[in-house]
Every structure is written in C-alpha cells, then in structure tokens.
Structure 1
Amino acid sequence: MTMRIMVVEDDALIALDICGLLEDLGHEVIAEAADAGAAWDLAEDDKPDLALVDIRLAKNTDGGKLAQKLYDQLGVRSLFVSGSITDEFRKAMAAINPIGFLGKPVTRRTLGDALAAVH
C-alpha cells in the first residue's frame, strides 16, 4: 500500500536518507520540514497519510507536540524516528496511537517493518 508521507527532520542528510528509503519502499514523500511550525503548515495544506517525526526539531520545536496536534486536529498518526526516545516519551505519546518508535540510524528494514504494520 503506497502512503503519502511527511518527513519532519531537522538534519538535512538524515531527511534525505529517510526520503530515499521511503521512495525505495514505494511511498510518496509529499512534504519535508525541519521544524514543527513549517510541518504543521504543510500538513494543513496537504494532509499526509502519516508523518515521520523526529523529537527534537529545528527552532527548538518539539516533535511530540507536533505529533499530538497532527493527531488531534487532522487525524494523522506519527512514526517517531529519533535518537532520544525514552520510556517516558513513549508513555506520553501513547494517547495519540503512534505507529511506532525507531532509533537512529534508521534502516530500510526497520523502516519497512514499521510501515508494514500500518493499516
């Protein structure tokens, strides 16, 4: 199943890598953003099927808060991709039904497995 995915990642090289993996897996990257404000504007303009979200974003913005807003207002679920995922963060995000949590670096296999679980 091809999904329309927004990538929210403040490291340009990691974002490029993730976009490449998503396209290799047959998905469409419809938007990229480095901070929560830009990501929200893009999601409002063209709602993605899901968002890949880093926790710590540019401009000191918070990926968790962004994911909460995407879910509450647009019904968009998030897959968190971050090097700083804690048990506390997992618990805090449980209410928004995240697709999952992936540590960095993400690989084609871990990303593919996480996305395959989405229905």
Structure 2
Amino acid sequence: MSLGQQLHPHLPFLRRYARALTGSQAHGDTYVRATLEAIVAAPDEFPRDVDPRLGLYRTFHAIWSSSHLEDSPGAASTGARETIANARLSRITPLSRQALLLTAMEGFSDEDAAYLVDVGPADIESLVNEALKAIEEQTRAKVLIIEDEPIIAMDIETIVRDLGHDVTAIAVTRDEAVREARAERPGLVLADIQLADDSSGIDAVKDILSEFSVPVIFITAFPERLLTGERPEPTFLITKPFQRSTVKAAISQALFFDEATAPA
C-alpha cells in the first residue's frame, strides 16, 4: 500500500484537528495542504517508525510550529509557507490546548500526544490540567442546542451547564432553532446535522448566521462527509458517539477564539 493510501483515511480527522487548533476552516485547511505538500516534496523524511496517522500529525505539527517561528527551508513549498504566513493568528493556541485537543478530541494517548508536540510524556497531564483550569476561567456563554434526540440533547445540556454556561433552548427542527436564536441570541450554537423533521442543522445554522455572528459546533455520526476540504464546512466538529471530554474541549476552543477576536 502506498503512503498516500495509508494517509488518506486520516485526512478528514487531521482537517478537524487543524480547524479546531486554528479556529478557522480556511487557516486549518491551509496547514493541512502545507503538510501534504511537505510529504510529497520529501517522502523519505516522513516518519516510518510510527503508525501512519501519528506520522501525519507529527508532520503537521512540524509545519504548525515552524510557521509560528521562522520559515524553515524545506518545511513546505515557498507558496505554502507564504500562504501560512499571511494567515497567522493574532492569538496562537497555547501548547496546553494543543495537548487537550490531541487527547480529548483526537483520542491520542498521553505518550502519543507527547511525541506529537515534542514534550516528555509526564508533561502532557500537566498541560491538559493547565488547559482545563483555563476552561474554568472562561466567560459564561449562552448556548443554543439544536438536537432532535432527547437523550443526546439532555447529555449535551448537562455538559454545557456543568461547564458553567447557560442553555437558552433545545431546538429539534430548523424553524424552531431559528426562532429560538432570534428570541434570545446565543453566544454559542451546538447543532446536530440531521433533525427531527428531516430538516438540516446546517441550514438552520446558515439561517442564524445570516442574521448575526456566533461560533458553531456541529455534531455528526459521519464526520468524513463534512471534512473533505472541497466546500465551506464546519470549523468545529464533534463525532457521535462522543465523550464528555470531547464536547468540553470543543466548546472551550470555540469560545477561546470567539473571545480572542472580540472587541476589547
């Protein structure tokens, strides 16, 4: 099996991670493209002593780290480096949040996460704890949940409230979601893709975003369908079935970027 065939199944999830890390679909996909360009340009430098997924994320992190320091020759093509340079964030995701996303959202072990961010395995736990402490200090937000499965909706509501946020409503259809958003403007939206009346959570979110800006986290059992990189897609995405820690990390990261870009 070629290296490309080995890496292909992992690309949607690298896109998810890159978008969550950068807070932007465009920026995240730029880093993924630069990663693939680097692999194509120097396939012999791809880590062969680890699982292909681990090697892919390791290469991504090399691109990510170098783009926030100095452009390193050979890290990626000149065009890719220039694109990244133009897309640099004003507020970089701290190492602690990288550790949290890698373990809670991407499911890497502490040992693998340590390898990816180039720290000692013992450091990952402290980094994650640092991120969790920062989460506790985040400003409280009003959250609209768009989810038609009652058990899942209740589970999400519990997680949201336990994080100290308020739930404005739980909507089960597109029309109800738009109505609830207008009634009490949320600071965050968590939306399932397929809703009770066969309407779409994506369409509900588009309707809401046409009226005001708000960070959105999508929830789906089929993430690969929304992470192709070929059209406008979610920046933050949770895969069903989800872990509590995954939802917590996604909510925190979405609000982190929302607060970072808010007017002073």
Q: If the TM-score is normalised by the length of the shorter chain, which range does it land in? A: 0.7 to 0.9
The residue correspondences of 1:53-64 to structure 2 (distance < 5 A) are: 53-64=191-202
| Structure 2 Cα separation of the partners of residues 93 and 101 of structure 1 | 13
**Equivalent residues in 2 for 1:1-119 (5 A)?**
1-87=139-225, 89-90=226-227, 91=229, 92-94=231-233, 98-117=234-253, 118=255, 119=259
CA-CA distance at 1:105 after TM superposition: 2.1
Distance (Å, rounded) in 1 between the aligned partners of 2:170 and 2:223: 21
Change (3 A) 1:99 1:115: farther
Query: Cα distance 1:99–1:27, how it changes in 2: closer, same or farther (>3 A)?
Result: farther
Higher relative contact order (CA 8 A, sep 6+): 1
- The structure where strand makes up a greater share of residues is 1
Q: Distance in 2 between matches of 1:107 and 1:24?
A: 14
> Does the CA contact (< 8 Å) of 1:6 and 1:29 recur in 2?
yes
Higher mean displacement: 36-45 or 107-116 = 107-116
5+ residue gaps, structure 2: 1-138, 260-264
Q: Distance in 2 between matches of 1:93 and 1:81?
A: 16
Secondary structure of residue in 2 paired with 1:80: strand
What runs of 5+ residues in structure 1 fail to find an aligned partner?
none
Q: Alignment RMSD, CA only?
A: 1.5
Distance 2:195 2:154 in 1: 15
**TM-score (norm: length of structure 1):** 0.87
Letter in 2 for 1:18: I
SS of structure 2 residue aligned to 1:53: strand
Q: Distance in 2 between matches of 1:3 and 1:76?
A: 11
Name the one with the larger helix percent: 2
Which 4+ stretches in 1 moved above 4 angstroms? none
1:23 Cα deviation from its structure 2 partner: 0.8
| Secondary structure of the structure 2 residue equivalent to 1:73 | coil
The percentage of counterpart residues that share the same residue type is 27
CA-to-aligned-CA distance 1:28-85 (integer Å, 9 cap, x gap)? 1111111111010010111100110000001110111111121221212210011122
Once the two structures are TM-superposed, the CA of residue 20 in structure 1 deviates from its matched residue by 0.5
Which residue identity does 2:189 align to in structure 1?
A
Secondary structure in 2 matching 1:58: coil
